[in-house]
Structure 1
Amino acid sequence: MVNQFFIWNERLGIALPELNREWECYNDQEQADIVTRWEVIRGTIPDRVFALERLINTKQAQLNEEEDFETSCTINADIAELASRINDLHIWYRINQEIETRRHS
């Protein structure tokens, strides 16, 4: 039942909440299930960020060696996309604070 509240996001490599109602419209059990599942998912975010950082480091090493301008541009765009994913993951990581605040209100 909890999985109905989450959808896999291929870009970020994690499941994200997909809540179709206001938080207050979920019953206490649903809220608890959502928060519990999100805590498990949220706990994987630092590892996901670390993996993306390693990819960025690899791409930066490639960029330092690359002499072809077009290829350099492609690598640079890849680095920017990976950095964007990291930024999005950081935002999602902070979402827990909002859910917890709502749950205790």
Structure 2
Amino acid sequence: MQFLLDERLGIPLPNPELEFEQLTPAEQEEVIAQWERIKARIPEQILKFEAVIEDKLRQVHEREDWDEIAALFAEISDYASRINELNTWRRVDPLLHPDPVADHASEHRDREKG
């Protein structure tokens, strides 16, 4: 199993070449240790994105052109979405759920149907 940098989120995410169960115990231990190091950096990445949002909100208050304001709010929404995804990755074990964002979305859809 390897981790590849997700440019949008700014952290490496799991990209399994083999199923976790196919790894040796020593390899499994290294994967878990590596993921824990990555997860430890998530709060710092969230703080960076929050700072970007704060900066864009300041820009909104300085603008008068509606198109510029709308573009800034679109960027703010994108960064808020990134923060949400990072929080999901922080809570979920990707070795058990390779795509927690997709799992969360399908769970929400299923709840809405019921």
Bin for the TM-score computed over the shorter chain:
0.7 to 0.9
Structure 2: runs of 5+ lacking an equivalent = 97-114
Match of 1:60 in 2: 57
1:27 to 24, 30, 45: 24
Give every structure 1 segment of 4 or more consecutive aligned residues whose post-TM-superposition deviation is greater than 3 Å: none
Q: Distance in 1 between matches of 2:68 and 2:75?
A: 11
Post-superposition Cα deviations, 1:34-77, rounded to whole Å, max 9, x if no partner, equal: 10001111100000001100110111111122110110111000
What SS does the corresponding residue of 1:21 show, helix, strand or coil?
coil
**Aligned partner of 1:54: which letter?**
A
Match of 2:66 in 1: 69
Q: Distance in 2 between matches of 1:7 and 1:95?
A: 17
Shift of 1:30: 1.3
**Aligned partner of 1:31: which letter?**
Q
TM-score (norm 1): 0.83
User: RMSD of aligned C-alpha atoms?
Assistant: 1.6
**Count of residues in correspondence between the two structures:** 96
User: Which of structures 1 and 2 has the larger relative contact order (alpha carbons within 8 angstroms, sep 6+)?
Assistant: 1
What SS does the corresponding residue of 2:17 show, helix, strand or coil?
coil
**Aligned partner of 2:33: which letter?**
T
Identical columns (%): 35
2:83 to 78, 82, 86: 86
Match of 2:105 in 1: none
Structure 1: runs of 5+ lacking an equivalent = 101-105
- Name the structure with the higher helix share: 1
TM-score (norm 2): 0.77
Post-superposition Cα deviations, 1:63-104, rounded to whole Å, max 9, x if no partner, equal: 1221101101110000000001101111111124x649xxxx
